[in-house]
Structure 1
Amino acid sequence: MTGVRICILTMFDDDDSVFASKLAGALGYLLKGADIDGIERAVRAVAAGEALYSAATARRMQAFFAASSGGGHAQALAAQPCPGLTPR
């Protein structure tokens, strides 16, 4: 399916969930506690092809991928970022 853009709305804020969603192609990641304005902003941004993460999540992602470039956990996540999802 081309043109599909994904924004995750979840209660999970652990690194594995955040990074796996990014590696699986999600453009946004919000926690369920986000206010309605934040959710609307995220949906509109992702629909426009922009990535949207909280500042704290973006910093964690940047630090994680900078520290693990070339191996380790990032490669394991990339191999199967969301094992429970089917291609469909």
Structure 2
Amino acid sequence: MVKEGGVGEYINKNGLAVGSSSRELFEEVMRGTGFVMGPNSSLYIENAGLHDKFIVVSRGADSNRLLETEKFPANQFQKAVDLFTGWSDKD
């Protein structure tokens, strides 16, 4: 999805557009920069040890809510993506 001005809905930590499909998000988080930002939310990988990795989803604070962060084991990537896209869609 592309918004006005040519900036993609999701970007990586280098500011480059990232696709919105689960596959594209997986590739960016697991094999790319490890970080994706969307409207009011972010998705990134956290190394918790030698073998443990978590997918972290964060939503920014506003006047109605506090900052929210959820962690998922790497094997639950789809659950993390579903939450990330849900939070991004709500703005």
Higher RCO (CA 8 Å, separation ≥ 6 residues) = 1
Give TM-score, length-normalised by structure 2.
0.28
Compare the two structures and name the one with the higher strand fraction: 2
Give TM-score, length-normalised by structure 1.
0.29
